[in-house]
Chains A and B, each alone.
Chain A
């Protein structure tokens, strides 16, 4: 019981993220990078950007899933170790946005892999991304 509490506490305090562009126009990517840069400093919540999916807990996706990135997205998701969470950043990642129904687009992130948090916005502002991640971590408490 105590151990479970400790482990849950550690998971909330140290979410390492990996950033994957599934076909975004780059606006959301710039905002995600701005969130990680010194001005907003996500490291104060324990968030670190990791290069390897094996190290990461949270997969931060931006953009609608194109047919080209669909297989890669599934592969990156499956390489991550449990427990893992997916955050969709931007309107396109949430639902496919204006690209929904386009010939090369599958749809939002949740049409391929399960998503834990949606952060809408075109592009989503750093404040919105921080808000979304904090809400995801709060939901882990229960």
Chain B
């Protein structure tokens, strides 16, 4: 009982994820700055931003739905924290694994996106409404390729449990080589899920102020930003647990591998962010359905063929 509470609140739950999320945001921003030949922010920058936002006045617009406006950031944060319970951290096993938790993680990661939509919608401001409609439009484009890219490796492993998939690839790392198209598709879709360049259309600050977050400020915005940081950790951990077969039976070494893998994924995400420019929404939807989804389908086909050969 005490251990369970410790797992949920301290490690690898709330406190660890918040601290690691801020660290990952720093790594992302620093890499982005270095790619642009800048010096970049100091290491405590995300923490300072968080404390400052927490201590700022929180304004709730008169037009907005007060209850929804205030509760949605909490919902978003709860969903990503719950998703982290099914992510393996120091070994191939997550804390509470069960058959089918891959689907549960993907559902729980969809909830923050929906809260961004609802938060923007309930702000009743023009820019946030526009931004939230774009959030939903984009959701329909990247969600399917992301699910299918993860479906392929899971089919090859023959299980719907993330811990099972990780254990399979830890035992047979050579099979991870056939999942490279899926890895590419999942990385691009993750960029859309995290709403970063080139898929930052929902909060395009040069067009629609700050998208769904336009009316949010102070404490509520701090919660939303923290949610996005933790979501980045969870997505990086999910992608790395499935596609990068680097595990260890030793918990300390396993944790080190976890940090290396997630930082590698964050490095790739930051690289994408710095070399791309923002797409228009219809370009993004077209790209996702015409290129990304077929790529994920090819991945499933490859995995089915490999599985057939293995069973022969």
Chain A residues with CB under 8 Å of chain B are 6-7, 9-11, 13-14, 16, 38, 41, 43-44, 46, 50-52, 54-55, 57, 79, 81-83
Contacts and interface: CB of A to CB of B under 8 A. Distances in A.
Contacts of A11: 52, 55
Contacts of B51: 6-7, 9-10
Interface in B195-216: 205-206, 209-210, 213-216
B58 A81 contact: yes
Given A38-B37, A44-B38, A46-B49, A82 B56 contact: yes
A50 B214 CA distance: 10
B267 to A, nearest CB: 19
Q: How large is the interface on B (under 10, 10 to 19, 20 to 34, 35 or more residues)?
A: 20 to 34
Judged by DSSP, the binding face of B is loop
B96 interface: no
B52 A10 contact: yes
Nearest to B209: A51
Contacts of B56: 57, 81-83
A81 B41 contact: no
A81 B52 CA distance: 12
A79 B57 CA distance: 11
A44 B41 contact: yes
A55 B210 contact: yes
Nearest 10 pairs of A and B residues by beta carbon? A10-B51, A54-B217, A13-B48, A51-B205, A81-B57, A10-B52, A52-B210, A41-B38, A82-B57, A51-B209
B58 A44 contact: no
Interface string B38-81: 11111011011111100111110000000000000000000000
Contacts of B215: 52, 54
B4 interface: no
B217 A81 contact: yes
B60 to A, nearest CB: 10
B93 to A, nearest CB: 38
Nearest to B208: A51
A66 B38 CA distance: 36
A9 B48 contact: yes
Contacts of B307: none
B172 interface: no
A14 B57 contact: no
Contact of B55 (A7, A38, A46): A7
Contacts of A7: 51-52, 55
Contact of B41 (A10, A43, A55, A79): A43
Contact of B52 (A14, A41, A44, A79): A14
Given A43-B41, A54-B216, A81-B58, A38 B36 contact: yes
